[in-house]
């Protein structure tokens, strides 16, 4: 019994000891990361802001539902892939290609989608996050338009997993770039469509409300401006975009909502409103600024 | 010697209890995704882990946009919601919607958004037995 007790205690102590060592190692690694390229604010705060950024898919759905035709010339060509060598370029363009893939998926353009899947996989591998991109399943789903729901689900899940992983690995800077790239591409597509339909008020308002998201992106980039020259330069470009968005006024009026329960679902009637004041000139200037920023990223 | 054996037994028992009481909120949030109503596109899954009652709320945020309808649902291990309530607040912390009404816990909210902005999605535990759940957010135009 004495021997058994000694073995149990030794095992318990050894387990505690190894646990402590792991914590210390993790702490030291955190310090190293912070010294090299870390942000000036906690990763948890960054994670909270990152999760607010909407999916580019929402804009693709808006365009399709409003009857706009598919236009592959608006997207970043997969042929540009060899140009992206640094992690900065890879992460931003992974976001851009991700938005492009969402656009091709929503429009059920499977042949184009397959090219983007392959491009995305290459970039993700280059960033050591390729394991989260299930290319075989996605490729199989993309060959049949009946699988659209599954395709959208699995691609969204893959990108969510990548973002979560990057944040848990102290690489939230790449997550910031990925989401920024996705947003820039979605706004670029939307502005290009709006330019062909200058009287479309819904599209103009949709562009105007991007001001809310831009403010979050600027905040995220600002956390890295002291330690990452590329992100500081991007922040400066985005700041110029913000100067144009500052002309857009968003007025919010809160009014208590009402509800009813329908088939076990609580359906809310939102009585609050936002009015978005944006002129056609603002849209033109936003488009011009977005094209400049995007060209620097994809060239 | 008896004290020593008791100590070891306690250590083993505590570690076993901890393992069984773990909240698998990831699995529950994954279960919630196919429960989004037809026509909704999946956006995010949220883990709801109240850590056995030590946390009284779990909160996330997202930018909702005017003209888009969102759905948020709840999945729990035992009953449909196990006392988990989701409440939606706007950026000024005005309450926009809650899934508890007249003492009834509703497992899904459909929110046709009329005002673009940051919204807070807050999960609370009202008599929950597990303090554990998952949730999914979807959208449609």
Domain membership flag for residue A255? no
Q: Which token pair is A132?
A: 């989260």
**SS3 for B125?**
strand
Domain membership flag for residue B87? yes
In terms of DSSP bridges, do strands B108-112 and A265-269 run parallel, antiparallel, or are they unpaired? parallel
Domain membership flag for residue B13? no
Domain membership flag for residue B52? yes
Cα B89 from Cα A215, distance rounded (Å): 20
The residue among B10, B35, B95, B96 with the most chain A CBs within 10 A of its CB, best to mutate, is B96
Domain membership flag for residue A259? no
Cα A55 from Cα A213, distance rounded (Å): 11
Reported as a single tens digit per residue, the pLDDT across A114-139 is 999 999 999 999 999 999 988 888 88
CB contacts, 8 Å: A252 with chain B: 90-92, 115, 117
Strand order in the sheet with B95-98: B57-64, B117-125, B84-89, B95-98
Q: What pLDDT score does A4 carry?
A: 42
Least confident of A119-128, A243-252, B17-26: B17-26
Cβ pairs A/B, distance under 8 A: 131
Domain membership flag for residue A35? no
What part of B 78-137 touches A (C-beta under 8 Å)? 88, 90-92, 94, 96-97, 99, 101, 104, 106-118
If pLDDT is split at 50, 70 and 90, which confidence band does A16 have? very low
Reported as a single tens digit per residue, the pLDDT across A186-207 is 999 999 999 999 999 999 999 9
Q: What pLDDT score does A29 carry?
A: 41
What is the least distance, in Å, from the CA of A165 to any CA of chain B?
14
If pLDDT is split at 50, 70 and 90, which confidence band does A3 have? very low
Cα A255 from Cα A202, distance rounded (Å): 22
Domain membership flag for residue B113? yes
Look at residues A144, A118, A148 and name the one whose alpha carbon lies nearest to residue A133.
A118
Cα B43 from Cα A58, distance rounded (Å): 9
If pLDDT is split at 50, 70 and 90, which confidence band does B3 have? low
How many structural domains are present in chain B?
1
**Contact B63/A5, CB-based, under 8 Å?**
no
Q: Do B113 and B68 contact (CB within 8 A), yes or no? A: yes
Domain membership flag for residue B45? yes
Q: What pLDDT score does A31 carry?
A: 38
The domain of B120 spans 23-140
Cα B109 from Cα B122, distance rounded (Å): 13
The domain of A198 spans 41-249+279-298
Q: Which token pair is A53?
A: 């950024």
Cα dihedral across residues A14, A16, A18, A21: positive or negative = negative
Residue A85: which residues within 8 A CB-CB, separation 6 or more? none
Domain membership flag for residue A6? no
How many structural domains are present in chain A?
1
Domain membership flag for residue B2? no
> What is the Cα A128 distance to its own chain's centre?
18
Q: What pLDDT score does A299 carry?
A: 95
- ∠ at Cα B101 (B97, B103), nearest 5°? 145
Instruction: Give CA separation, A194 vs A9, A19, A70, A289, in Å.
Output: 71, 57, 14, 15
Task: Specify the CATH number for the domain of residue B108.
Answer: 2.60.120.380
pTM of the model: 0.85
If pLDDT is split at 50, 70 and 90, which confidence band does A147 have? confident
């Amino acid at each position: 019994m004495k021997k058994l007790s000694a073995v149990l205690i030794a095992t318990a102590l050894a387990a505690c000891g190894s646990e402590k060592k792991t914590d210390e190692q993790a702490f030291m690694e955190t310090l190293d990361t912070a010294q090299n390229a870390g942000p000036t604010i906690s990763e948890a705060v960054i994670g909270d802001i990152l999760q607010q950024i909407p999916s580019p898919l929402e804009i693709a759905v808006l365009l399709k539902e409003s009857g706009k035709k598919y236009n592959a010339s608006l997207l970043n060509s997969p042929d540009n892939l060899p140009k992206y060598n640094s992690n900065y370029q890879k992460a931003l363009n992974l976001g851009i290609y991700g938005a492009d893939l969402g656009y091709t998926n929503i429009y059920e353009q499977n042949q184009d989608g397959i090219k983007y899947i392959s491009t995305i996989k290459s970039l993700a591998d280059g960033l050591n996050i390729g394991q989260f991109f299930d290319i075989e399943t996605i490729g199989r789903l993309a060959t049949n338009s009946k699988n659209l729901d599954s395709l959208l689900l699995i691609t969204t899940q893959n990108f969510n997993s990548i973002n979560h992983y990057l944040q848990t690995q102290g690489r939230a800077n790449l997550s910031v770039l990925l989401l920024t790239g996705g947003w820039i591409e979605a706004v670029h597509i939307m502005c290009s469509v709006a330019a062909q339909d200058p009287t479309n008020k819904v599209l103009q308002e949709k562009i105007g409300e991007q001001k809310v998201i831009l403010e979050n992106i600027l905040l995220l980039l600002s956390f890295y401006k002291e330690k990452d020259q590329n992100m500081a330069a991007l922040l400066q470009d985005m700041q110029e975009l913000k100067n144009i968005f500052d002309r857009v006024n968003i007025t919010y009026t809160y009014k208590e909502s009402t509800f009813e329960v329908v088939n076990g679902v609580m359906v809310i009637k939102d009585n609050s409103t936002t009015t978005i004041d944006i002129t056609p000139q603002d849209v033109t200037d936003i488009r011009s600024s977005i094209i400049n920023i995007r060209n620097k990223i994809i060239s | 010697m008896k004290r020593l054996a008791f100590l070891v037994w306690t250590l083993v028992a505590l570690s076993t209890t901890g393992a069984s009481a773990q909240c698998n909120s990831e699995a529950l949030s994954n279960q919630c995704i196919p429960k989004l109503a037809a026509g909704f596109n999946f956006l995010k899954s949220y883990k709801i882990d109240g850590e056995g009652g030590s946390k009284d709320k779990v909160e996330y945020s997202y930018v909702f946009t005017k003209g888009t309808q969102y759905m948020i649902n709840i999945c729990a291990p035992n009953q449909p919601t196990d006392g988990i309530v989701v409440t939606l607040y706007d950026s000024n912390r005005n309450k926009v919607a809650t899934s508890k009404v007249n003492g009834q816990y509703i497992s899904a909210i459909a929110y046709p958004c009329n005002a673009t902005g940051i919204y807070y999605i807050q999960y609370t535990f009202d008599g929950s037995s597990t303090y554990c759940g998952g949730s999914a957010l979807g959208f449609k135009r």
